[in-house]
Structure 1
Amino acid sequence: MENKKWFVIGLMSGTSLDGLDLVYVKIELNKGYHFEILETEAVNYSDIWKNRLKDAFGFSGEKLTFLDAQYGKFLGQQVEDFIQKKSIEKIDFIASHGHTIFHDPGRGYTLQIGNGAQLSATTKRKVICDFRTQDVALGGQGAPLVPIGDQLLFSHYDFCLNLGGFANISYQKEISRIAYDICAVNIVLNHFTRLNGLEYDDGGKMASEGKVNKDLLHELNSLGYYKEMAPKSLGYEFVIETQLPLIEKYELSLPDILATCVEHSAVQIAEIVNQVVTENEGAQYRMLITGGGAYNTYLIERIKDLCAVDVIIPSKEIIEFKEALIFALLGVLRNEGQVNCLKSVTGASHDHSGGQIYNY
């Protein structure tokens, strides 16, 4: 097979609203897929953008459509700044995740704003985006999409765990890739710290000083989602309709809320990981952890304590930019007409190549 390579800018905005990740990467096909991260940048959202994205869940259709266009232009401007700042010359296309506002695959819809046509027009470049919609139309969850990248780029780890707004896990089971959202993590932790004037709990220090409320922990662990079989995924709807009201009714101090939510996350992660390990007794497993939660020292300690695996925390570059990197890969696969959505992961009717392409 002919060797191929692509130079791509990947964009990722997570539900925890910590900002926009940009990565400039070379992806090469040569007896498998390989990557080299060439440049990265993390752009923090201004208070204005943070509030727009947070409040968009309640916007009217007209206001949300306008925000979609505005955000597409914003993404384009950030890409242009990135290109100039890093003196980037060769770009085959931009692959953009957008920012998720709605995600309810059970009712057949998902929405990531960041209008691809606006992004393409602003940058004057080819754009591949909207990776989730087709999968939902085919009966899938539209999430998680990163596992195809775990399979193609990070197969030397037994588990790939991402700790972002939500925790999601990916692993190989016989010939199929299995992956799903486990539970809410940073989207809940950051909600409560922001109510108290802090962006996040640095290193999990406040959580480590709090006391786990056993009654709340029991209620959280008893939520119906955890009894559902995969494929399954979580959205902001689950957090605001189910999880936040449950936590708020206990009227706990901030440290106790954080301690309890961290414990809940660690317990849910451990239940999944340890079940797989038990089924394959005797094997030594390695779990790669990425996403902003990898910096929450207390959460990582609890995961290490509860999970019967070796936990690997990679370089800062991989921790922060793995998702943007993989969306660049998803763009490559879509560009080549190759599968980038796995039915074993999302539950769609068949494997397929998802994403809209805007040629400038």
Structure 2
Amino acid sequence: MDKNHYNVLGIMSGTSLDGVDVAHCIFDKNGAWKFEIKASETYSYPSDWLTKLKDLVKLNLDELRELDEEYTVFLSEVIQKFITEHNINGLDAICSHGHTALHQPENKLTYQVGNLPKLATLLNATVVCDFRVEDVELGGQGAPLVPIGDELLFPQYNFCLNLGGFANISTHVNGKRIAYDICPVNIVLNHYVSTLGLAYDEGGKIARSGAVHQPLLDALNALGFYKSPYPKSLGLEWVKSEILPLIDAYHLDIKDILHTFVEHVAIQISNEINQQKQASVLTTGGGAFNTFLMERIAHHTQNKIIIPDKSIIENKEALIFAFLGVLKLRNENNCLSSVTGAIKDHSSGKIYNP
């Protein structure tokens, strides 16, 4: 596709299960890339889909494929609703991450539901999707994928930190972009808040009311993942096998669990961003709205924490998956081996036409 102006949608569903993010994005290439988010929405999951997606790791491959078919239809309905509500036409592509069901790169396995060819048929549009599989086949982690967008759309920051289901970060080291997952964030916080009948801890108020439980904090900080070098990534399976049983063994009040885990997250993030001095840290994702968490991160660092406008906080991942799709359409690299550990940079993803 020989052009420099793109009108696309970016679709993202994260591990925190806060909904499907849809962003209408315009990209222009005139030397450097420029972008504009024209419209965006987050569509919350209905309760039945929340239950299904929380239990994905329990499904065998046949059950997963069946759910994939259902989810693809559901996703098409969400996307069509957005297109209709915002009267969007003339799209070059719909660029979708899908929703991660399995992520075991050490077993050459990653599976995102909602990336079937019939998505293009249902929407009668070109779809670019399934960005992780090729990277895993090439020996990479298949994640994080956002750093190419950090590199080309947000070059003015030393670090780009995303606080979603997991915290991940990207930066430059020795002239190369590197990125990796740091630790779980909302996937754990929301799990425990849900026992109180809430979707999330608004502003971290419940966490703030608790206290640090030092033995649990020490145990969390001692987990082996934190000592392993990048590239590295985390998945729901690791949280269920390593984090939740560890926390549950202490039988703490929810407010103390939340407070302790926020402190754990702040320590792990500061360990990474403090490796550079006088650095600027662009912070996005739902965790950027957790005032208590942001205060604790600031407490542990001298670096400048920058929180952008709400549209970028909420939609940076959808924006960048839209951009990954644009790069794929141009057959340009959208996956960096320095980030994922794959044997080479490559243009990842699949293009489906209706």
Q: TM-score range by the shorter chain?
A: over 0.9
Q: Distance in 1 between matches of 2:115 and 2:178?
A: 30
Q: Distance in 2 between matches of 1:343 and 1:89?
A: 35
CA contact (8 A) 1:76 1:118 kept: no
Q: Which of 321, 343, 346 does residue 349 from structure 1 map onto?
A: 343
3-state SS, counterpart of residue 24 of structure 1: strand
Residue identity in the other structure for 2:263? E
CA contact (8 A) 2:97 2:115 kept: no
Q: Distance in 1 between matches of 2:56 and 2:341?
A: 28
TM-score (norm 1): 0.97
> Is residue 301 of structure 2 the alignment partner of residue 307 of structure 1?
yes
> Is residue 12 of structure 2 the alignment partner of residue 12 of structure 1?
yes
Cα deviations by residue, 1:235-278 (Å, 9 ceiling, x for unpaired): 0011000000000000000000000000000000001111233x
The answer for the alignment partner of 2:202 in structure 1 is: 202
The answer for the alignment partner of 1:193 in structure 2 is: 193
3-state SS, counterpart of residue 276 of structure 1: coil
Q: Structure 2 unaligned runs (5+)?
A: none
Q: Distance in 1 between matches of 2:240 and 2:217?
A: 18
Q: How many residues align?
A: 353
Cα deviations by residue, 1:273-312 (Å, 9 ceiling, x for unpaired): 11233xxxxxx31111000000100000001111221111
Q: Distance in 1 between matches of 2:328 and 2:15?
A: 24
Residue identity in the other structure for 2:163? L
12-21 or 268-277: bigger deviation: 268-277
The answer for the alignment partner of 1:169 in structure 2 is: 169
> Is residue 49 of structure 2 the alignment partner of residue 49 of structure 1?
yes
Q: Distance in 1 between matches of 2:29 and 2:69?
A: 34
The answer for the alignment partner of 1:358 in structure 2 is: 352
The answer for the alignment partner of 2:98 in structure 1 is: 98
> Is residue 281 of structure 2 the alignment partner of residue 287 of structure 1?
yes
Q: Distance in 1 between matches of 2:269 and 2:289?
A: 17
The answer for the alignment partner of 1:33 in structure 2 is: 33
Q: Distance in 2 between matches of 1:124 and 1:165?
A: 31
Q: Distance in 1 between matches of 2:202 and 2:124?
A: 39
CA contact (8 A) 1:3 1:28 kept: no
The answer for the alignment partner of 2:275 in structure 1 is: 275
The answer for the alignment partner of 1:218 in structure 2 is: 218
Q: Distance in 2 between matches of 1:192 and 1:334?
A: 39
The answer for the alignment partner of 1:236 in structure 2 is: 236
Q: Distance in 1 between matches of 2:268 and 2:208?
A: 18
CA contact (8 A) 2:121 2:353 kept: no
How far 1:116 sits from its partner (Å)?
2.8
Q: Distance in 1 between matches of 2:196 and 2:291?
A: 21
How far 1:33 sits from its partner (Å)?
1.1
3-state SS, counterpart of residue 11 of structure 2: strand
Q: Distance in 1 between matches of 2:6 and 2:116?
A: 20
Cα deviations by residue, 1:134-193 (Å, 9 ceiling, x for unpaired): 101111000000000000000111110000000000111232001100000000000011
How far 1:115 sits from its partner (Å)?
3.2
Q: Distance in 1 between matches of 2:140 and 2:343?
A: 7
Q: Distance in 2 between matches of 1:253 and 1:59?
A: 31
Residue identity in the other structure for 1:302? R
> Is residue 128 of structure 2 the alignment partner of residue 134 of structure 1?
no
How far 1:359 sits from its partner (Å)?
1.1
The answer for the alignment partner of 2:178 in structure 1 is: 178
Residue identity in the other structure for 2:228? E
Residue identity in the other structure for 1:70? E
The answer for the alignment partner of 1:21 in structure 2 is: 21
The answer for the alignment partner of 2:88 in structure 1 is: 88
CA contact (8 A) 1:171 1:179 kept: yes
Counting only pairs closer than 5 Å after superposition, residues 327-346 of structure 1 correspond to structure 2 as: 327-346=321-340
How far 1:332 sits from its partner (Å)?
0.5
TM-score (norm 2): 0.98
CA contact (8 A) 1:116 1:127 kept: no
> Is residue 306 of structure 2 the alignment partner of residue 297 of structure 1?
no
3-state SS, counterpart of residue 327 of structure 1: helix
3-state SS, counterpart of residue 116 of structure 1: coil
3-state SS, counterpart of residue 100 of structure 1: strand
3-state SS, counterpart of residue 354 of structure 1: coil
Identity of aligned residues (%): 52
257-266 or 111-120: bigger deviation: 111-120
Q: Distance in 2 between matches of 1:132 and 1:89?
A: 28
Q: Distance in 1 between matches of 2:70 and 2:162?
A: 29
How far 1:3 sits from its partner (Å)?
6.3
CA contact (8 A) 1:138 1:349 kept: yes
Q: Distance in 2 between matches of 1:100 and 1:307?
A: 32
How far 1:105 sits from its partner (Å)?
0.7
Aligned-CA RMSD value: 1.0
